[in-house]
Amino acid sequence: MRNVSQIIDGKRQIIKKPELLAPAGNLEKLKIAIIYGADAVFIGGKEFSLRSQASNFTLDDILEAVEFANQYHAKIHVTCNIILHQDNLAGIKEYLQALDDIGVSAIIVADPYIMILAKEMNLKLEVHVSTQLSTLNSKAIQFYQNMGMDRVVLGREVTYDNLKDILNATDMDIEYFIHGAMCIHYSGRCMLSNYLALRDANRGGCSQSCRWYYDLYQDDTLLTKEDDMPFTMSSKDMALVNHIGELIELGVDSFKIEGRMKSLHYIATVVSTYRKLIDNYCEDPDHFTMDDFYTKELEKAANRALCHGFFYDHPGVNEQLYNIRDEHPTQEFVMRVVDYDEESHIATIEQRNYFKVGDKIEIFSPNHSNLFFTVKKIYNEDKEEVDVANHPMEILYIECDQYVTKNDMGRKVIR
């Protein structure tokens, strides 16, 4: 059993706090993830990375990301997780050297050649085994440890009981998914996109064919009727918000949030929720009380219905969406705070979605508790009073009697 706590001043406290690892599809999202509490952020480069549809990072972007992360003592992990074909070999050595020179903390790798090459080059960065390799047991972890790998990202299919046995059997750094989308196949083993769209899921081109709509046949007979809901194989998203304490007590090294293609609001909401939950639990685990605040916060992000993934066992029928597209944001992201004048009580904001005078706004923040106010006056960039905010990214000024801070975000409360 891993030693995760000790008695300090007569109270048990967690001394092995897990890393909170967040996704980011661009620099803006990366900075927000770190500001809102991520200990590390994983990103994709322009080369050798899955999620080709994400706004992947150039080397100059990665340098800026590392410099920003260093200000917060955070780390940057770069995905180099494609399965290499022969025509992908060119440039990989130079790319790894460039990442190391920039100061990247770790690369996330699926191809054995990249694993071996990175170690042979004696790079300072760590090499993490990607979830694409579906690592589900301690013997496989031992194999990668013998290769000199620094961390294993477990497949999403590892249950809590299996995880407990794995952590008891190895001292290897272990990364475990706690939140995000689920694949309908084993991690890294799906060929549906290749077959239906000629887009290689293991080289960054997944077309998410599992979320398409399908007609169902039995032999040659069409089962879906004209008025039927279309069939899809999509799973509900995983959220282990109610099990974070159990996972901390096991000694998991890193908690991973999925979603490099998610929105800025989603990243801020999910990261800040888990940050608060982890910190509150670790401060006083024996007296921690789980309430519904954390779950309700997560539900305010635009996502599908949530489930426990493989935490207990194989997900059943209730963990699937099938013919239901259940995306349900409960509140709408409308503003990001740029500045606040305490004397005039005027907040300078960057408008993101439509809102108007009279709307009730909830502000959430990495610096203070959630607060609410009603929009009384809005001024445009020319300081002219307007009734509505309907130009995304416009800089506006609003009256706000409650103190807010830069990078706070506002949601319109849906009544």
Q: Return the structure tokens found at 160.
A: 């809590």
β-strands 409-413, 360-364 pairing: antiparallel
pLDDT of res. 239: 95
Report how far apart, in Å, the C-alpha atoms of 260 and of each of 253, 266, 328, 414 are. 21, 10, 19, 27
Task: Assign 315 a pLDDT band (cuts: 50, 70, 90).
Answer: confident
- Asked if residue 43 has pLDDT above 60, the reply is yes
Bridge partners (DSSP) listed for residue 254: 19, 175
Q: What's the CA gap between 68 and 31, in Å, rounded?
A: 7
Task: Assign 323 a pLDDT band (cuts: 50, 70, 90).
Answer: low
pLDDT of res. 370: 95
Using one digit for the tens of pLDDT, what is the confidence trace for 214-255? Answer: 888 888 888 877 777 777 778 888 999 999 999 999 999 999
Q: Looking at residues 259-285, what average pLDDT do you find?
A: 94
Q: Return the structure tokens found at 186.
A: 């084993």
205/389: higher pLDDT: 389
Q: Looking at residues 388-398, what average pLDDT do you find?
A: 95
Task: Assign 185 a pLDDT band (cuts: 50, 70, 90).
Answer: confident
pLDDT of res. 49: 72
Bridge partners (DSSP) listed for residue 214: 231
Task: Assign 207 a pLDDT band (cuts: 50, 70, 90).
Answer: confident
CA 11 to chain centre: 32
Q: What's the CA gap between 399 and 383, in Å, rounded?
A: 12
Residue 57 and residue 76 in contact, taking contact as beta carbons nearer than 8 Å: no
Closest CA to 361 of 411, 398, 402: 411
pLDDT of res. 202: 63
Task: Assign 190 a pLDDT band (cuts: 50, 70, 90).
Answer: confident
Q: Looking at residues 399-412, what average pLDDT do you find?
A: 95
pLDDT of res. 330: 53
Residue 146 and residue 124 in contact, taking contact as beta carbons nearer than 8 Å: no
Q: Which of 18-32, 37-51, 366-380 has the lowest average pLDDT? A: 37-51
- Asked if residue 204 has pLDDT above 70, the reply is no
pLDDT of res. 325: 56
Q: Which of 74-83, 202-211, 334-343, 397-406 has the lowest average pLDDT? A: 202-211
β-strands 173-180, 151-153 pairing: parallel
What does the angle CA 294 – CA 297 – CA 302 come to, to the nearest 5 degrees? 135
Closest CA to 387 of 374, 377, 397: 377
Q: Looking at residues 336-355, what average pLDDT do you find?
A: 96
